A = this chain, B = another copy of it.
């Protein structure tokens, strides 16, 4: 029997990784879905989004993995985790690395994807990195991903051959939304807000990027918001 190749897809519950997943399925891969719980404030809501998206695509339970990143909560250093700092209101023109940066988070995420892919015998890893919209996170760039791919090639068994793919890396939010719309990605199940769990705040960086993207794509964002943005 012909067996499809397997891809590990990291799925946060946000729009970007949901479109990356839709793309991997569209390319004909079997997928295994990885979700990291790194103690961020909105984890419960993101996990719900992960589970609903997995159900939407009928992914088998053994192909779903939610991993605790308790060590990142212990280490801290980000306004996204812990309660000592507040999330800054959105400002898409801010320079530098923002306080929501979780130190080297994607090193942990990609290491976990690598370990799981090695155990499952997967050949690809898909992530939803978006360089342009990533608010200046240094671990969300093409050079980082390529360097990690090389490191994983060196640090795994000789028979483990993994390639890393970030299909949205050079797309704008507008392009991602249009592509996801074409692939019938379930945007209504995704969650992007850094601040709230019931209705998206409409004011944090993540909400602003999402709302601007839908606006520019000429589409309506199907999730509920507390308030709209004052500016993009």
Residues on A close to B: CB < 8 A? Answer: 36, 65, 67-72, 74-77, 97, 101-108, 110-112, 114-116, 118-119, 138-139, 141, 143-144, 147-148, 150-152, 154-158
B111 contacts A115, C-beta separation under 8 Å? no
Option from B69, B75, B143 in Cβ contact (under 8 Å) with A119: B75
Give A77's nearest chain B residue, CB to CB.
Answer: B119
Output the nearest chain B residue to A65 by Cβ-Cβ distance. Answer: B74
CB–CB A151/B154 < 8 A: no
- Answer whether A108 and B106 are a contact pair too, CB < 8 Å, given A74-B67, A139-B155: no
A97 to B143, Cβ gap below 8 A?
no
Q: Which of B65, B97, B111 contacts A157 (CB 8 A)?
A: B97
CB pair B155–A104 under 8 Å, yes or no, is yes
A119 to B74 Cα, complex, angstroms = 11
Least Cβ–Cβ distance between A155 and chain B, in angstroms: 4
